[in-house]
Structure 1
């Protein structure tokens, strides 16, 4: 299911979780911090297992975990600001990861049209 882009799919999941919190999920800062920490750890673990390259996943996990803990300990950022910052970090690392990993599924050759 994850095909050639496991990091991209897992990045999408992480961003969707943050958007849900930003646009409708009314949870306490502590609950959001805990959910973000668990999601960050799970995403980092899955990427590391799937592509056998844990550096990008580890950086994202650390950034998400650090933000989640900072929010839990009183950082006063709106959920919108959290989502934007983490989306930017996640996309930047995802773009870097894209150049560092080899897909498990080979690229399909492009056949010339006649």
Structure 2
């Protein structure tokens, strides 16, 4: 699948420039909000790249959730740090539970439960 080709950084640059262009021509966002939008775009790109290469998708999803929360806060979401922490903890647990179904152990469970013989030196 060639969704991103070989240049995800170029796509991120395009997004950053488009946000600046829109802000220059009337989109009402300040510099902090622009930075947060670009951070979310980077997190989305991380999720896409992780999905395409089948590596680290769980970590990318958690990073995306953190970026999305930062974006919401940057645009006025009024949550206490306690509420933010609870939401992020829930996201982490849900992603962890999903991730658990995706991982294959390198050795069978029966091999891990067998006692090993002590090594004689």
Q: What TM-score does the superposition give when structure 1 sets the normalisation length?
A: 0.46
Structure showing greater radius of gyration is 2
Greater relative contact order structure (CA < 8 Å, 6+ sep): 1
